[in-house]
Amino acid sequence: MSAVKNENMLMIPKIKLGIVIDHIPAGDGVKILEIISRYEELKDVPITLGLNYDSKKLGRKDLIKLQLEFLAPEIIQHISIVVPGVTIKAIKEYKVYSKVVVQAPKEIRNLLKCKNPNCITNLQPGIETVFVAVNENSDQVKCNYCERIFDRSELQPIIK
């Protein structure tokens, strides 16, 4: 494919059926790809990753296309925790049939691991983690058990 910029040329081909994750801030596409790669059910799904595209909204953006019909709610929630504000579009017959902008939830259950080694969730098997947003944009969360506050970005996702 030519490196010449042409406003009518698609840099990533359209998909007939699948999921498009759009409006990803430049550099964060790899974070989403890391989440996707942890799910066994997505191991054999064809994925296209585009990095550093021009964007009127963001300046620069990343883009991911998955050739599958449905993205599980748990995966969408993981994405919303790691990179809130992205747009997830469902595609059928090359057209968008549903679109949602994901935001970090106010309460996160069993999707993030507490960093406090003395937290009961790290000491007692089977206890689910619960974090609650402490500010409006949910970038800081408080563990429901040890009550420590963390930046959401410093917590590791739990993949079952």
Q: Between vectors from CA 34 to CA 30 and to CA 35, what angle results, nearest 5°?
A: 120
pLDDT one-digit tens code per residue, 19-66: 999 999 999 999 999 889 888 889 899 999 999 888 888 899 999 999
Strands (E), 13-133: 17-25, 47-55, 59-66, 87-92, 95-101, 107-109, 112-113, 130-133
Instruction: Tell me which of 5-19, 48-62, 66-80, 116-130 is least confident.
Output: 5-19
Give pTM, 2 decimals.
0.79
Position 8 scores a pLDDT of: 54
* Rounded Cα distance, 112 and 28, in Å: 18
Q: What pLDDT, on the 0 to 100 scale, is given for residue 152?
A: 84
User: Please, what CATH class does the domain formed by 17-101 belong to?
Assistant: alpha beta
Specify the pLDDT at position 57: 87
Burial class from Cβ neighbours inside 10 Å (0-12, 13-18, 19+) for residue 155 reads buried
Sketch the domain layout of the chain as residue ranges.
17-101, 107-157
Q: Which CATH number fits domain 107-157: 1.10.260.40, 3.40.50.300, 2.30.30.20, 3.40.50.620?
A: 2.30.30.20
